[in-house]
Amino acid sequence: MGENLSIVTISLLLLLASTSAVQVFDIKSYGGQPNADITQALTKAWTAACAVAGSKVVISAGTYKLGVVTLLGPCKGAIEFNLQGTLEAPSDVASFKGKDFWVSFERIDSLTVSGGGVFDGKGQMAWQKNNCNQNYNCKILPSNIRFDFLTNSIVRDIQSKDSKFFHINVLGCKSLQIQHVTITAPGNSPNTDGIHIGRSSSITITDANIGTGDDCISIGDGTQDITVNQVTCGPGHGISVGSLGKYQNEQPVSGIKVIGGTFSNTENGVRIKTWPASPPGIASDIHFENLIMNNVDNPILIDQGYCPNGQCSKKSPSKVKISNVSFKNIRGTSSTKEAVKLICSSSVPCQQVVVADIDLVNKGSGGSATSSCVNIKPTILGKQNPPACTTKQ
C-alpha cells in the first residue's frame, strides 16, 4: 500500500512540476536591445508567450524606447510581464496617431505585471498641448498604461512617471490587485490621474505611493467593490469618487472603501463629486476611514455642484443620489478654514451619511476650522473638530 501511495505521490509531483514550469521569453531573443526601439521585439515576444501555457516576458535592466503597443489576450495560460528596466514613450503626441494609450494590456486572464521597472511617459511636451481646462470636449492624450478587461490579475512593484494623461486606466476589469506601485508627475501636470477605475469590480489597491497633477485615484461610473489600503497621496487632487453625472446612462457606483492613508499638500483629501444638471445616478456604500491629512485644501468634501471652469449649467441640481457614506477617524491639518464641506443636491439630498471622530486643524488664515452642510443631515459620532455643520449655506 505504502509503495503504491509513493508512486501516486511521485506521479502527482511530476504532474505539478510539469504544469508549473514557466517558459521565459526574453525580448533580447527577439532582437530587443537597450537604447533602441523594442516595439517589434516586445510584440513578437508577447505573441509567442501568449501562445503557451505558463509564460513570462522579460525586459531586463536598461533603458528602451517603446512605441504604442497592445498586448492582447486571451492567452493559453497565466502570463507575466516582467519589466526590470525603463521603457520610454515617444515624446511627440503625433506619433501616437490618435491612440489614447501607450501600453495596453487587454482581455487577459491571470496576468502578472511586475519587476520593479519604470514606464516613463515623457509627458512634458504633451502637457503644454492639454486644453481640457478650457475645452469641455478636449482631445484625450495618451495614458501610460491601460488595463482593459483583465480578470484574476496582479500588478505589483512597477513605477509610472510623467504620463501624458492618466497613468493607469483600469476599465472593465474584475479581480485585479494593484500592489506597491509608485506613480509620479509634477504637481502642475494636467490630467495626470494616478489610477482611474471605470466599470470594474473587485479591485484592491494596496501600499501605493502617488504624486501627480490630478487625482491620485479616481473612481468612475459602474465601479463596484473597490478597496484602497495604505495609499500615500501628494501632490495631487486627492482620492475622488467621480466626477459622476456627466454622461447619460452611467452605471451605479457602490462598495468603495478607502482605509488608511496619508494626504500631503493636496487640493482635496477624500471627495465625492457630481455634475449639476445631471441625468439620474447612484453612488452608495462609500467609506473613508483612518486617514491623515497634512496641509490639505479640502480634507473632506462632497460636491454635488462640481463644474470646473464654468463648463456646465448650474440651472438645475444634480440627480445623482448619494447614500450610505461614512467619514471616520480623519485627522490632521487643513490649509483652508472650511475643512469639511458636505454640499449635497437639493433634488436628491444625501442620506445615511456618518461623520465620526474628525480632528482637523486649520493651518491657514481665518481662525478655527469650520464645517458646512447643505441638503444633508449627517449622523454625528465621536470627536468633532471642527464642530459638525457649523455653517449652513
- CATH code, domain with 236: 2.160.20.10
Dist. CA 23–CA 85, nearest whole Å: 20
Dist. CA 105–CA 315, nearest whole Å: 41
pLDDT band (50, 70, 90) for residue 202: very high
Residue 128 pLDDT exceeds 60: yes
Residue 10 pLDDT exceeds 70: no
62 domain-assigned: no
Catalytic residue numbers? 214, 237
Domain of 262, in residue numbers:
215-393
Q: What is the pLDDT of residues 285-330, one digit of tens each?
A: 999 999 999 999 999 999 999 988 777 777 899 999 999 999 999 9
Domain count, the chain: 1
Residue 158 pLDDT exceeds 80: yes
247 domain-assigned: yes
178 domain-assigned: no
304 domain-assigned: yes
Q: Measure the CA angle with vertex 167, ends 297 and 249; round to 5°.
A: 80
Q: How many CB atoms lie within 10 A of CB 272?
A: 27
pLDDT band (50, 70, 90) for residue 12: low
206 domain-assigned: no
Q: Measure the CA angle with vertex 274, ends 143 and 214; round to 5°.
A: 35
Within the chain, residue ranges assigned H as helices are 2-20, 39-50, 124-127
221 domain-assigned: yes
Q: What is the pLDDT of residues 26-71, one digit of tens each?
A: 999 999 999 999 999 999 999 999 999 999 999 999 999 999 999 9
242 domain-assigned: yes
353 domain-assigned: yes
CA dihedral 218→220→222→228, nearest 10 degrees, is 10
